[in-house]
Amino acid sequence: MTQQTVTINGQSYRIADLSDTAKTLLGNIKVADRKLADLQQEIALVTVARDTYGKALLANLPGQAPAPPDPPPASVTLN
């Protein structure tokens, strides 16, 4: 069976050899990394929404040419 390891600052450690505190801290880092990834994805979505609102605002300012109609939204089905 393969021993699980973690590499920290270039040094590999067997997880089984870590103290309970170190294992808890390692778990906390994993949770924080997942949360950061989720937040980065949320930032990307909100950035797209903000850009879309900005384009719509520009098209609705006085003296602006009307914006061309939006193409129909893409139909996406995930299985």
Q: How far apart are CA 18 and CA 14, in angstroms?
A: 7
Q: How far apart are CA 29 and CA 3, in angstroms?
A: 20
Bridge-based pairing of strands 11-14 and 5-8 is antiparallel
- Which pLDDT does position 78 carry in this prediction? 80
Closest listed residue to residue 17, CA positions, set 30, 4, 28: 4
Q: pTM of this prediction? A: 0.67
Give the start-to-end residue ranges of the domains of the chain: 5-59
Residue with token string 């949770």: 31
pLDDT beyond 90 at 23: yes
- Per-residue pLDDT reduced to its tens digit, 24-48: 999 999 999 999 999 999 999 999 9
pLDDT confidence tier of residue 67, bands split at 50, 70 and 90: low
Residues 34-63 as b/e (b if ≥16 CB within 10 A, e otherwise) read eeeeeeeeeeeeeeeeeeeeeeeeeeeeee
